[in-house]
Structure 1
């Protein structure tokens, strides 16, 4: 199968220590690194002043801001921030999702060293999630807060926690206490913008990014200029085609997460690319907007989560014109968040060959909010999903293997955070005695005899548990396997069995899909009872059980939950990830029912 040729071959150096740990480094040197993000903006405003940098939907078309216009507005907003006395100790809380004004404000703050703290818009728009917003306000201590629409965010803006904080809105509505975003664009000639800009260094904190809070209260990751600038060099070192022509994306991934807001946004800025904000999402009712946006503009790179790629593949199969447009200029298909189902992977491969006779680089990487994020990259073509590749330039991976060569992952490099915001205890816990960041993630080699084949993510160490027999269960990988086994019946699930004799699964169903398939659901005090559905799940689990051996992967029982995961109750993070501990704690009665063979809602194998 012909593939695009612009890729960098893996080349890894390995050091085996006497204590059994393994160090991995790239044999390639780290390329030149910008000092701060404004260097990119100033460069492209000079080199390509009329090229679109950022755009969002406006009516039937797009509001587009060129590089030169972006720089002009960023400098004006930065001056307005300085005139308010803002600096490194006066963060800006950004409560809204992706948008042009959000991007301009972020870059303006970075221009003069004011940290921004973008938080999930759900925290403001969902009444029950205001506790998460309150936590972020108390942690960050902002001097300013931004929303796109003061009326839409009115309930959140009325929180006592925002008293005394200047609120800025692109659409202020009738709220006379809100500063119009247009006022920031007026600038202030009375400040020394150049002097403030000169004080920004690689160590200046650019963002405070909140962790997902899937295992504990969200922490604020101090993201420095160096982290973001180094990471873009590392990405361009791994993906050389980024430097050969300006990239373009139509992207929905939220900027309060490191993937969308640092990885993707800065990839466009650092390489002179164009970022079109997709105001759709891969969920029912919003995905149609994504397809509309793609009918107007398509990217040279596409980033998404696996469920998004599954929906996109189905849509492309039905739309010949969109399929031609989508693949015409495509260099990269990049998935993250979970492993891409192999059938979806192969579907894109076949479609690319049909349309253009070659396959763009299909890949993923590994990293965390604390690592800016990219740290490992599958930078050469592979024919399988799930591989996260090799260390990127400038980083050292420290692997601590167990008897099965499953390795705990630790990392050191210039893209790693200096610490958690105002949390020295958690910061100290996060690093080992050699200064390696302790990720808590596990990896396995694709081929232990050939390290250049890369590694695969193998779950979170903290999610593993033991059965009463002493058998270890790798819950993260088992969860991925079970999602594939139960697709499309389950939207998510929780693996159970800690200190019990058998592994069970608590299933969050796709209710709409089940109803379309004719399952007559009946709620039974927290669980669904439907003989047809129970029979189908039993059939799939039994079929799977016949194909495997060993108690560490056999699912012996299941329960289908009737109440969806609750964000207000902390069962779901803003990323849409389950907080497994919270689910098990909040639904402990259902967990006990799962191990009661006499309960009619339980499926047993």
Structure 2
């Protein structure tokens, strides 16, 4: 947006203004605690569902496209209560309980939602597992690891056929398999039959035993630093997440607030992670929202589905990865119908998983102004599987890169670590510890009981902490050049990828103890396809042209930087995609910088060879 012009006002966020207490301690340690108290919360998530069903039984709860007809199918809150009561009884009959979880292998669906909630009603932890562990892995090592960690009594898969190989890899250890489509296998229990089970008083008894210490889910870490670790996610932790957000709520601040307006949420984020499962899905139940299950994803092949769903849904809130917001901006800039549908009910846009670039922020605000005459709040929440949400941007921020301030009930401890401030956190949404991992738990909690995330932050203005915090990378990813100059990978990497957008999917930065920093990049699939098409199918020529274009963008990035720690001197475009089996990338798209560097040591060596290795571009 052009400078020197008065920008339109934001649509107001119905949230309280920042009010933070900062305390300094010996050794440069800083404690940050919000002055707002946590707000209302349900007793447990299953109790919340039943309360919403009682209050508005006919309100749509879940909407999902029929995979064959494409028609939206609707499940009401009342229907969801009845189904989860029946499934909970069936799960109890099959032996599910506190020490016998229900594992979910397939992705987001109405039935998966019912299984997840019914397991919790029965007092059995739900264990949703990353779908790629079953469908993309060649060795199923991570799936077997997750299975062995929690020892489920029941395994659910929407359709049996795609998951047959993965289930067989687990061996025959007495668990029951449930599927909506059994493929004619009479050893597999049919979901519809279980959902027709007549509930008894045993379900009410099980729910009466639920409390804050009850494990509602086992969520597994992404496996970016080894095999996924099982995190017991208690009902208290999930409800504390709701209470923290409620403590910031201020509906009176929004002149357009309508208490009778039903919130429409369109979301694709997988339920095996906190954002999709505990922030968005649980939040939808708490708010009595209608949750539209997005069958699209931010990929060239699937994003059109998200666009089609936006046209139908006109969501009230929308959160996704920056790459998806970039694809959405591309589409809306040339489609006024989509633009109007997206912003018709939109209250705020959320992003996570990576930093939003200034350019994309400006494009989204220009689109919001075009559609509504106002700017739209663009916010983010920061957290981890072990902690739920920790911080949130709860004001109309004029800049990107913020992670906000701690939620009510949470305290941040910022500890000097080299040139950075390392983040530690304590609060009711933090896990009690990894399952059966006493040694690991000793490592990740400090002597005051704060969980150590391994991330770093910096203040926008340390003298005015209410302006918020900015993510400053992973403490363990930074390195020194031979000159002794530190390279901040956490800031350089996203800035470099943004500068090479939309040609680059992601990158890793190399150069420890070397004279200069280098980058290995993965080209974006859409960019590869476009260049191959332009080259008449000549893949080699297309990749050469694409590499040249990436190099030009990289050179332009260097020209805007002044220090050696911010310049990329050599570049290598990788042909082999990041491996999920090897842990180079997680299912939510996080690339493990250190592991990639170690695993691709030969490629790194070619960057620093003299002369440079094949395919290396000097900038």
Both proteins in one fold, TM over 0.5? yes
1:300 aligns with 2:313: no
- Of 559, 562, 570 in structure 2, the residue corresponding to residue 549 of structure 1 is 562
Equivalent of 2:452 in 438, 441, 459: 438
* 1:23 Cα deviation after fit: 0.5
Deviation per CA, 1:275-331, whole angstroms, max 9, x where unpaired?
Answer: 010111111121111122222212111111101111111112222222212211111
| Pairing partner for 1:3 from 5, 10, 14 | 10
Q: Choose from 351, 355, 365 the match for 2:371.
A: 355
Q: Which stretches in structure 1 are left out of the alignment for 5+ residues? A: none
SS at match of 2:26: coil
Contact 2:226 2:583 in 1 (8 A): no
SS at match of 2:161: coil
Q: CA deviation at 1:470?
A: 2.4
Query: How far does the alpha carbon of each residue in 1:183-242 deviate from its partner, in whole angstroms, 9 at most, with x for none?
Result: 221224555222211111111111111111112211011100011101012123334449
1:50-129 to 2 correspondence within 5 Å? Answer: 50-58=58-66, 59-128=69-138
CA contact 2:386–2:431 (8 Å) conserved in 1: yes
Residue 167 of structure 1 aligns to a residue whose secondary structure is strand
- Determine the structure 2 residue equivalent to 1:493: 507
Matches within 5 A, 1:213-232: 213-232=223-242
Given the alignment, which residue of 380, 397, 400 partners 1:385? 400
2:516 to 490, 502, 514: 502
Counterpart of 1:602 in structure 2 is 616
Question: Is contact 2:147–2:170 with CA below 8 Å preserved after alignment?
Answer: no
What's the CA shift for 1:601? 2.1
Give runs of ≥4 in structure 1 deviating > 6 Å: none
Q: Does 1:409 align with 2:423?
A: yes
Residue 385 of structure 1: CA displacement? 1.4
Looking at structure 1, the residues matched to 422 and 258 of structure 2 have their Cα atoms a distance apart, in angstroms, of: 34
The question of whether the paired residues in 2 share the 8 Å contact of 1:208 and 1:222 is answered with yes
Confirm whether residue 574 of structure 1 aligns to residue 570 of structure 2.
Answer: no
Q: Which residue of 1 aligns with 2:576?
A: 563
> How many angstroms apart in 2 are the aligned matches of 1:191 and 1:263?
31
Q: Distance in 2 between matches of 1:403 and 1:463?
A: 13
Which one is further off, 154-163 or 20-29? 154-163
Q: 1:320 to 1:545 in 2, by over 3 A?
A: closer
Question: Could you tell which deviates more after superposition, 350-359 or 224-233?
Answer: 350-359
SS in 1 for 2:326: helix
Which blocks of at least 5 consecutive residues in structure 2 are unaligned?
1-7, 252-256
TM-score (norm 2): 0.92
Matches of 2:506 and 2:583 in 1, distance apart? 15
Whether contact under 8 Å (1:129, 1:567) holds in the other structure is no
**1:131-280 alignment, distance < 5 Å:** 131-189=141-199, 192-241=202-251, 244=259, 245-280=261-296
- Alignment of 1:34 onto 2:35: no
The verdict on how the C-alpha distance between 1:243 and 1:198 changes in structure 2, with shifts beyond 3 A counting, is farther
| SS class of match (2:18) | coil
> Cα offset for 1:443?
0.4
Give, in angstroms, the shift of residue 538 of structure 1: 4.2
Q: 1:420 aligns with which of 412, 416, 434?
A: 434
Q: Is contact 1:597–1:604 with CA below 8 Å preserved after alignment?
A: no
Distance 1:274 1:533, change over 3 A: closer
3-state SS of paired residue (1:259) = helix
Residue 604 (structure 2) aligns with? 591
Equivalent residues of 1:137, 1:161 under 8 A apart: no
- Classify 1:60/1:547 alpha carbon distance in 2 versus 1 (closer, same or farther; 3 Å): closer
Residues 335-366 of structure 1: CA deviation (Å, up to 9, x unaligned)? 11111122222222122222222233211121
- The count of corresponding residues between Structure 1 and Structure 2 is 598
Alignment check: 8 A CA contact 2:96 2:154 kept: no
Q: 1:92 to 1:319 in 2, by over 3 A?
A: same
Distance 1:511 1:292, change over 3 A: closer
Distance 1:381 1:236 in 2: 18
1:402 Cα deviation after fit: 5.3
Which stretch shifts more, 62-71 or 33-42?
33-42
Aligned to 1:339: 355
How far off its partner does 1:125 sit? 1.4
Using structure 1 for the length normalisation, give the TM-score: 0.94
- Structure 1 residues 314 and 433 mapped into 2: Cα distance closer, same or farther (>3 Å)? same
Match of 1:283 in 2: 299
- Indicate the residue corresponding to 2:339 in structure 1: 323
Structure-1 separation of matches of 2:499 and 2:151: 45
Question: In structure 2, what is the Cα distance between the partners aligned to 1:243 and 1:24?
Answer: 34
CA distance in 2, matches of 1:87, 1:580: 39
Three-state SS of the structure 1 residue aligned to 2:341 is: helix
Aligned partners of 1:171 and 1:403: how far apart in 2? 55
CA contact (8 A) 1:509 1:561 kept: yes
Distance of 2:368 and 2:387 partners within structure 1? 32
Q: Deviations over 1:26-50 (max 9, x none)?
A: 1111112322112211211111111
Cα contact 2:86–2:197 (8 A) shared by 1:
yes
Is this contact kept in 1: 2:30–2:413, CA < 8 A?
yes
2-structure distance, mates of 1:426, 1:224: 19
Decide which moves more: 70-79 or 130-139: 130-139
Contact 2:134 2:140 in 1 (8 A): yes
